Chains A and B, each alone.
Chain A
């Protein structure tokens, strides 16, 4: 499509090029907005900091939670990192309802951009927001003396996992937005989703502590795989329960399915 990529080539390559181009146009728009008003990111960072300092501080004294080779604060940090991404992502859909009410969304829908690129672009942008949280949480964790790995695989892997994990939940959020269509209903559903997703995961306690039924639910929760991969990447001497490759594969598959669903529903949000 774009004349920036003009040379004749296979149709599928054109489609792929067009898809990637449009995805990143949406990401660019979102990032530009963020740069104009970064205040939101700072206020958003307060909650994970409280979890780390207050919740982590108290539970580290309990010493009743089997966290293996690391202390509880170490164990908690990747969980809180994933959680802060989740909390941002799960309410991301409300921005789409807002844009629909304003009319901005219609502009995108009338452009030649594939619907799936519009959805994935939003999702990745939510992931980048999650990334900014990661930097703050990481900084604070190091400041309060949490022992974290800082190797090259950590520096590369952690941002990727955060973006991927947040993108999964942002797409889920877009689907909810397309279904409920009003901000009021969305807030209700958002609240309803957040805590179960958080508690039915290994974010603040290991899977081994859970009763059987909860373990089954958390095995279907993408957050579990995100936290699993983050722990392996961030903590010294900890390896992934499911293997990092499997963790990433589960999340990629979840993202693909959700993006397909969301791009079907996306045009309906304007009705």
Chain B
């Protein structure tokens, strides 16, 4: 894989080695080897069922790989998952903010889970609420929030402990275009401010093109190609879009992804965030 294209300094934020996950006979992630340079916004692009979420679940230690391993922020996900968890933030595709608590309480619980001191908590929660524009809604139950507000809160709570790597699983699925742009600008600001490496999954070409420094196209559990969007496009032709790149490497084929349960979850998430 042309991962060495990354003009990286220092140790990679994420490195996977032949990372593989099988569910019975089905190979969801198939010998994925890739390198995410520190400070990058890195997108895993692929249709539903390509293995994006499964990859993310392994990198965040929610799922053990069947074979292969990865290092996240310098720690091995198989041998040292506890250390990995200290160094990462994760916003799942589903809902990670508790609707029955207020925005402030969600942040407070996250801060405590990560062992921040009282002074750190006070400072960073205030900062996060301000940064995400949630100060006025801080003491409102999250179930009354709009989809965009919920996403911003979720990103805020995943950032409180200033993780080295932030994982976002389809951060803008189900958001309207305006809220989507707002989330993008917050992701860029985070990187700018804290130098956080951001690894996100998306099936949205525009998101990959506009937001990501690097894109890895995942197809049926394998990496089809990796590189900066501009390079990938240039390799196809002068007028090529990321869609053309995508079509080239995946054969333009629509993979019917996901099980019934996945669809139910997707729809539910979309409804809640919509």
Contact = CB atoms under 8 A, between A and B. Distances in A.
Interface string B146-162: 00000000000100000
Nearest to B117: A3
Interface string A106-117: 111111110000
Interface stretch (B105-113, B209-217, B227-235): B105-113
B120 A102 contact: no
Interface string A230-271: 000000000000000000000000000000000000010011
Interface of B: 57, 60-63, 82, 85-86, 88, 90, 92-102, 105, 109-110, 112-118, 120, 141, 157, 265, 268-269
Contact of B61 (A29, A103, A110, A271): A110
B92 A36 contact: no
14 contacts: A25-B112, A28-B112, A32-B101, A32-B105, A33-B98, A102-B95, A103-B94, A104-B98, A106-B94, A106-B96, A107-B90, A110-B61, A112-B82, A112-B114
Given A29-B101, A36-B100, A37-B100, A108 B118 contact: no
A22 interface: yes
Nearest to B120: A3
A62 interface: no
A1 B115 contact: yes
B118 A4 contact: yes
Contacts of A111: 85, 110, 113-114
Contact of B157 (A1, A21, A107, A109): A107
Given A109-B62, A112-B115, A103 B93 contact: yes
A119 to B, nearest CB: 14
Interface of A: 1-4, 6, 18, 21-22, 25, 28-29, 32-33, 36-37, 101-104, 106-113, 267, 270-271
Contacts, number: 87
A156 B95 CA distance: 40
Given A3-B120, A36-B141, A102-B95, 10 more contacts: A1-B115, A4-B115, A4-B117, A25-B113, A32-B101, A36-B100, A104-B96, A104-B97, A110-B60, A112-B86
A107 B86 CA distance: 12
A107 B110 contact: yes
A143 B103 CA distance: 41
Nearest to A18: B115
Nearest to A2: B115
B175 to A, nearest CB: 16
Nearest to A109: B62
A30 B105 CA distance: 11
Contact of A29 (B57, B109, B157): B109
